[in-house]
A and B are shown apart, each in its own frame.
Chain A
């Protein structure tokens, strides 16, 4: 209780002003205190002003002063209690070679689910079209209208096409932006308890299944491999990783097998989610460049090289995600 409010305000105001100056400086530099002495002073002022707030909260008419002090305490609290390690510098190498593979493996079940749903979609699409070929035009969206031709016609047209540099760059930009959007959507839709993530993945798988069946049944397996493997070996896993992120969110919402609250469960998966979506975005940028500048180059002489590139990429991907960061196990992801 403050007996003399005016004296109290007069006495404490310099502390508030000093704390505000310290906070302004720290916030403008986006860093912690510069010296140990400054850190001690910040902590002392934080405690002193917090104590002033408790006193002011008992005074009804002191709304402006209370709000001012409350805001100072909130700002100082954020500075004093935030773990600086969590705001530390980002190390790209460590992130890529250790954090991403660990996050991937620690949520392997979500990836398996993502993979299985895509595979199910592929079998469904292939099965439906093999039973009723007329469904191909209904199941494939208009943006893939080139598939309405027979594969032989398409292969002949692609092989005789002239190289178009502007067309390639536009195509790469379109693919990159579109695929990243789809991947982000697959991740974000996990908030629907995974339902719409599953639908996105199933639909992608269905289109893939129809395309593969179409080429294979027309004897164009080599063309398909040379066209699809260089970019697909990276692009399809990237979308599956997006789906994996979606199922991680869904798993958190269901909260099976844990007594933690929703907010705590979400806090635990934030870091893996960021690792996975970052990795997926990088893979998709790479896949778009490969698709535009290599996959779409359809000279029959290049087929073995393109297939080999696809196999090498897929192997590297498996090595990276399967074995990356296995040595250091002390850090939890």
Chain B
């Protein structure tokens, strides 16, 4: 599992359409929490400074104001930011995360309050978030206990960048272009995951051992040949790797997407 990649939550709408939301990994969530803790610490120091300034104007209030402001910052900072920023705190904004209702619906204020009250347990021991971290790791939806009680999930909002196919493949001629009906069938038969695997294999081809590289592209090419058979004269003398390059060109290179 890489830093930002975890499972996706699939939601079927009443209209029968399925869409998926990419769930935030516990590691990313931990990093966002670290930023939030730093922000809360900074606000605590700021509140102490404010309380000190206030004591100059209104005597006998400095210590009480300090205690109250500190308490308010630690209880209300995540609630207020998630409410104002549509499910995001400062840390979540930095790492492109967002809290959502687990059914894909709008986040309710009550859910924000509950998930943040449960932070008292999730942050144990001593704000190390071991309880919440373990819960998120074992949960299928990467939910800490607060998310479970409040019915929320944390999703990634960062868009996957469009692969730079031109840079990867150059402007070489793709013989498969002469067979648009077969290209259409290929696009229909190949799954998004298979397309991604082919693309990543090309992107990382220089990092493979020569033997492994041959075997990988051979396996990929035969998999794609099973989906669509291009005429023999268009593939004559073509290596497996070149075959996969042409497949990726067909799947990813587009004329109109900008």
Whether a CB of chain B sits under 8 angstroms from the CB of A261 is no
Interface string of A15-29 (1 = CB under 8 A from B): 000000000000100
Say whether B40 faces chain A, with CB atoms less than 8 Å apart: no
CA distance A293 to B216 in the complex (A): 77
Closest CB of chain B to A28's CB: distance in Å? 10
Does A146 sit within 8 A of B, measured CB to CB? Answer: no
Chain A residues closer than 8 Å to B21, beta-carbon distance = 74
For the complex, what is the distance from the CA of A81 to the CA of B67, rounded to whole Å?
43
Q: Which of B63, B159, B250 contacts A67 (CB 8 A)?
A: B159
| Residue B254 lies at the interface, judged by CB distance under 8 Å to chain A | yes
How many Å from the CB of A174 to the closest CB on chain B? 6
Q: Contact between B110 and A78 (Cβ–Cβ < 8 Å)?
A: no
Distance, CA A274 to CA B79, complexed state (A):
14
Check A282 for interface membership: any CB of B closer than 8 A: no
Closest to B248 in A: A61
> Please, how many residues of chain B have a CB less than 8 angstroms from a CB on the other chain?
65
When each residue 30-54 of chain B gets 1 if its CB lies under 8 Å from chain A and 0 otherwise, what string results?
0000000000000000000000000
Let me know if B13 and A50 touch, CB within 8 A: yes
The segment out of B101-109, B203-211, B233-241 that lies at the interface is B101-109
Q: CB within 8 Å of A: which of B154-193?
A: 159-160, 162-163, 184, 186-192
Residues of B101-126 at the interface with A, using a CB-CB cut-off of 8 Å, are 101-102, 104-106, 108-111, 113-114, 117-121
**Nearest chain A CB to B40 CB, angstrom units:** 15
Within 8 A of A (CB), among B179-233: 184, 186-192, 194-196
Docked complex Cα distance between A168 and B102 (Å) = 45
Q: Does A172 contact B (CB under 8 A)?
A: yes
Structural contact, A188 and B160, CB atoms closer than 8 A: no
Q: Judging by beta carbons under 8 Å apart, are A191 and B13 in contact?
A: no
Shortest Cβ gap from A200 to chain B (Å):
11
Contact with B along A148-177 (1 / 0, CB 8 A): 000000000000000001100110111011
Residue contact A77 to B68, C-beta cutoff 8 Å = no
Tell me which residues across on chain B come within 8 A of A68, comparing CB atoms: 159
| 0 or 1 for each of B55-70: is its CB under 8 Å from A? (1 = yes) | 0000111011101101
| Listed residue (B59, B61, B102) with the most chain A CB atoms within 10 angstroms of its CB | B61
Name the one of B100, B110, B186, B191 contacting A271, with C-beta atoms under 8 angstroms.
Answer: B110
A66 with B192: CB separation less than 8 A: yes
Distance in Å from the Cβ of A163 to the closest Cβ of chain B? 12
Please state if A274 and B113 are interface contacts (CB–CB under 8 Å): yes
Given A6-B255, A60-B251, A174-B67, do A50 and B106 touch, yes or no (CB 8 Å)?
A: no
A64 and B121 alpha carbons, distance in the complex (Å) = 39
Is A277 interfacial (CB 8 A cutoff)? yes
Known contacts A9-B256, A61-B187: does B17 contact A270 (CB below 8 Å)? no
B136, CB-defined interface residue at 8 Å: no
Select one of A70, A81, A249, A277 contacting B105, CB under 8 A. A81
Partner of B20, one of A60, A70, A86, A249: A70
Are the C-beta atoms of B86 and A63 separated by less than 8 Å? no
Contact between chains at A191 and B121 (CB < 8 Å): yes
Given contact pairs A169-B60, A173-B67, A47 touches B15 in the complex (Cβ within 8 A): yes
Partner of A270, one of B111, B120, B250: B111
Q: Which of B117, B121, B196 is in CB contact (< 8 Å) with A63?
A: B196
If A63-B195, A87-B108 touch, whether A165 touches B162 (CB-CB below 8 Å) is no
> Can you add 10 more A-B contacts, CB < 8 Å, to A166-B60, A180-B75?
A9-B254, A50-B19, A61-B187, A63-B163, A66-B192, A77-B105, A170-B63, A188-B118, A188-B121, A263-B102
Q: List 14 A-B contacts (CB under 8 A).
A: A6-B255, A9-B254, A60-B192, A61-B195, A61-B250, A63-B196, A71-B159, A74-B19, A78-B105, A174-B67, A180-B71, A181-B120, A185-B120, A191-B121
